[in-house]
Amino acid sequence: MTNYFFPLIFVLLWSSAFVSAKIGLEYATPFAFLALRFIVVLFIFLSAYLLALCWRSVFKIENNNFAEVQTKGSLILTAIVGLLLQGFYLGSCFYAIWLGVGAALTGLIVSMQPLLTTVSAIFFLGERPKLLQWIGIFIGFLGVVVVLSPSLQIDTPIIGYIAPCIGLISITLGTLIQKRIGNRVSLLKSNVIQSAAVSLLFLILIFTVEKPQVNFQFEFVAALIWQVLAVSSGAYIILLILIKKNSVAATTSLMFLVPPVIAILAFLILNEPLTPTILTGFLMASIGVFLVTKRDNQNN
């Protein structure tokens, strides 16, 4: 089931996050939006975790799936993963979209994770990519440039384009750390810890660097509900499952499907332009990521 169903659902839900973010950010500042989202997510996961504990206690159920290595280090790393995969990643993406960067372009930049992972391995691990991977890196980077070039003519602050790059670095580091800690902490407890850490992060931000504003219109509430249920309670859990069951390369290779899906959804729902130039750039970026991860996927 995880071989086909989970990856497909993950790509659709993960892509929809950028579109629903664009809708919600018409009615709220980015960090206030995310603070609300993760407070609700924390309530859901904490309730589920306490209910599971009560259920096990009342019926004296011993389940190996709850086996954990509850060291201080593993709990801290779990919180760090949450801050990277959700806090800094989403914070930077939402901030970029709020500043005027298109949902599709933001999604494209952060979906270049496999390219960054491969390039990082060259400098920090001494790995030598094959010729096909070098070609993929070049095509992928060129695709981003092609998509980005028309957007640079729009009056958007440069920080709007830097922010997704921060998100790209964050999701790459978070994925690597999550693969390292594996199942030391159960999935349900890790979600409680991560949601708590991320909620605290955004609460700090809205009281320090942002003047929070929220307009509870129907569109905002709908976007918030979708972000909570479909993304945080759906796509993110699937991502953790995929990271646990597959290699990092195999998991991150799904990202090459995300940019074109975001582009299509943004065109259909947000009326973002889908010109031949933009389509060509998205196609190039997706092909580049596919080539970079092709060899690793065959080995796994």
Average pLDDT over residues 243-269: 74
Please say if the pLDDT value at position 3 is more than 90. no
Q: So what's the pLDDT on residue 162? A: 92
Please say if the pLDDT value at position 68 is more than 60. no
Q: Is 214 helix (H, G, I), strand (E, B) or coil?
A: strand
pLDDT, mean over the chain: 82
Average pLDDT over residues 273-284: 82
Least confident piece of the model among 44-48, 119-123, 152-156, 161-165? 152-156
Q: So what's the pLDDT on residue 260? A: 81
Q: So what's the pLDDT on residue 113? A: 77
Q: So what's the pLDDT on residue 67? A: 45
Angle at 172 between CA 151 and CA 153, to 5 degrees: 5
Please say if the pLDDT value at position 23 is more than 60. yes
pLDDT-derived band at 4 (thresholds 50, 70, 90) equals low
Which residues contact residue 18 at a Cβ distance below 8 angstroms, ignoring those fewer than 6 apart?
93, 97, 103, 104, 106, 107, 262, 265, 266
User: Quick one: how far is CA 162 from the chain centroid?
Assistant: 17
Q: So what's the pLDDT on residue 66? A: 44
Which alpha helices (DSSP H) does 232-275 contain, by range? Answer: 236-245, 248-252, 258-270
pLDDT-derived band at 133 (thresholds 50, 70, 90) equals confident
> Looking at the DSSP assignment, which residues form a beta bridge with residue 28?
214
Phi, psi of 208 (to 5 degrees): -125, -50
Whose CA is closest to 285, among 96, 92, 148? 148
Which residues contact residue 137 at a Cβ distance below 8 angstroms, ignoring those fewer than 6 apart?
115, 118, 119, 129, 288, 292
Which residues contact residue 70 at a Cβ distance below 8 angstroms, ignoring those fewer than 6 apart?
184, 185
pLDDT-derived band at 288 (thresholds 50, 70, 90) equals confident
User: Quick one: how far is CA 294 from the chain centroid?
Assistant: 21
More confident residue, 229 or 144: 229
- In the chain, the percentage of residues whose pLDDT exceeds 90 is 33
Please say if the pLDDT value at position 137 is more than 90. no
Angle at 161 between CA 150 and CA 170, to 5 degrees: 140
Please say if the pLDDT value at position 297 is more than 60. no
Domain assignments of the chain as residue spans, ordered by start: 5-59+68-298
CB distance 252 to 112 below 8 Å: no
